[in-house]
Amino acid sequence: MKIIIDTDPGIDDGLAIMLALACPEFDILGLTTIFGNVPVELATENALRLLDLAGRSDIPVSQGAAKSWETPYGGAKSAVHGEDGQGNLFSPTSAQKPLETTAAEFIVSQISKFPNEVTLIALGPLTNLADALKHDPEIQHKVKEVLFMGGNAFCAGNTNPVAEANILADPEAADFVLGHHWPMTMVGLDVTQKTYIPSKLIAELAAIPSAIGNQVFGAYRHYLKFYKEVNQMDGTWIHDSSVFTYLLNKELYRTSEYPILVETADCISRGKTWPSIKDYSFIAGQENPWLGRPKVNICDDVNGKKAVSLLKNRLMNATFPIEK
């Protein structure tokens, strides 16, 4: 499966990238980076470093948007991900450099080069995907599948009571992406917050020697501390990795299909992903703002224990270089 990973690493992004690298099913065409957990320049550095540590510097990295369509970048989420987005490990930078092409150009070029073969995966704000669509709307007919970690259909948000972080970071771009007729799956908080990885399992995975494991699970110490302080949890949810556990075994997930609108007004529900869960056309003369929008495949339930076992097995059986 040819995939592109659009990412803002980010501690849970790091785990997701490691998981993807551990799976021979995935042929990673490239990583594209986006502002979010950290400024985009740092996201790019982190992406390059993670690939380096995994011995996969052959995978190209392309830098994307530095801010959302409408608002300035709100700053790094250092309380969650550390000043460096990697749990304050401040590891040495990679000698590798990103491509000259932008993330949007890279996405367009790969989808055009391999029509109906590329699965596009977004683990951060949807700005690069929206920019790619603007650049060449034809990609919506040529992509195989689009999956994104983000949004909350039937549960509360995680940045405020109504919105999820990735969607709230650029609601206009998210609404633009969700308004296009391409095959989309939303892997949002409805399922990621039912997929719990205990700190004991993180420690087990950290004990397997590898350079990328040292980075990823070293960073998790910071993430676990945050979860303990804020959520009183002795573990964390796996947000970004859930896209890969879904792709690896779709049977673990229940899905439903609805058109989605993203709230873009400057109001308390800005960034909320609203699925149209019922047909109200029986009310004469009432406008339907969802009319003509494509249906999105929404992951709304998961066997979280099995999803975490899947992640565990894949990481336990992977071979990565021990030293950088």
Q: Choose, by CB under 6 A, the member of 166, 193, 195, 264 that binds ligand RIB.
A: 166
Residue 116 DSSP symbol: T
Q: Which of 232, 228, 195 is nearest to 15 (CA)?
A: 195
Contact (Cβ atoms closer than 8 angstroms) between residue 122 and residue 86: no
Chain contacts with Ca ion (rule: CB under 5 A): 8, 10, 13, 123-124, 240
Does residue number 300 form part of the binding site for ligand RIB (CB under 6 A)?
Answer: no
Does residue number 62 form part of the binding site for ligand RIB (CB under 6 A)?
Answer: no
Q: Is 135 a catalytic residue?
A: no
Q: Which of 11, 106, 103, 6 is nearest to 50 (CA)?
A: 11
The 3 state secondary structure assigned to 209-233 is: CCHHHHHHHHHHHHHHHHHHHHHCC
**Shortest distance (Å) from residue 27 CB to Ca ion:** 22
Shorter beta-carbon distance to ligand RIB: residue 109 or 307: 307
Does residue number 6 form part of the binding site for ligand RIB (CB under 6 A)?
Answer: no
Q: Which does 158 bind (CB under 5 to 8 A by kind): Ca ion, ligand RIB, none?
A: ligand RIB
Q: Which of 108, 111, 301 is nearest to 187 (CA)?
A: 301
**Shortest distance (Å) from residue 166 CB to Ca ion:** 6
What is the secondary structure of 264-275 as a DSSP string? -SSSTTTT-EEE
The first and second tokens of residue 126, run together, are 């949807």
Applying CB under 6 A, what is the total number of residues that bind ligand RIB? 15
Shorter beta-carbon distance to ligand RIB: residue 49 or 109: 49
Would you give the binding string for ligand RIB spanning residues 95-134, x where CB under 6 A is met?
----------------------------xx----------
Distance of alpha carbon 204 from alpha carbon 183, whole angstroms: 37
Q: Which does 82 bind (CB under 5 to 8 A by kind): ligand RIB, Ca ion, none?
A: none
Q: Choose, by CB under 6 A, the member of 22, 51, 132, 149 that binds ligand RIB.
A: 149
C-alpha distances in angstroms, 100 versus 36, 52, 67, 249?
21, 19, 19, 35
Contact (Cβ atoms closer than 8 angstroms) between residue 39 and residue 67: no
Does residue number 202 form part of the binding site for ligand RIB (CB under 6 A)?
Answer: no
Q: Choose, by CB under 6 A, the member of 3, 4, 13, 177 that binds ligand RIB.
A: 13
Does residue number 239 form part of the binding site for ligand RIB (CB under 6 A)?
Answer: yes
Shorter beta-carbon distance to ligand RIB: residue 166 or 210: 166
Contact (Cβ atoms closer than 8 angstroms) between residue 64 and residue 127: yes
**Shortest distance (Å) from residue 127 CB to Ca ion:** 13
Contact (Cβ atoms closer than 8 angstroms) between residue 78 and residue 10: no
Pick the stretch among 7-15, 106-114, 224-232, 285-293 that binds ligand RIB (CB under 6 A): 7-15
Residue 94 DSSP symbol: P
Does residue number 314 form part of the binding site for ligand RIB (CB under 6 A)?
Answer: no
Nearest residue to ligand RIB by CB is 165
Shorter beta-carbon distance to Ca ion: residue 108 or 187: 187
Shorter beta-carbon distance to ligand RIB: residue 105 or 171: 171
> Which residues lie below 8 Å from residue 252, measured CB to CB, with a gap of 6+?
245, 246, 302, 303, 306, 307, 310
CA atoms within 13 A on the CB side of 295: 8
Q: Choose, by CB under 6 A, the member of 33, 37, 68, 241 that binds ligand RIB.
A: 37
Contacting residues toward ligand RIB, per CB under 6 A: 8, 10, 12-13, 36-37, 123-124, 149, 158, 164-166, 239-240
Catalytic residues: 239
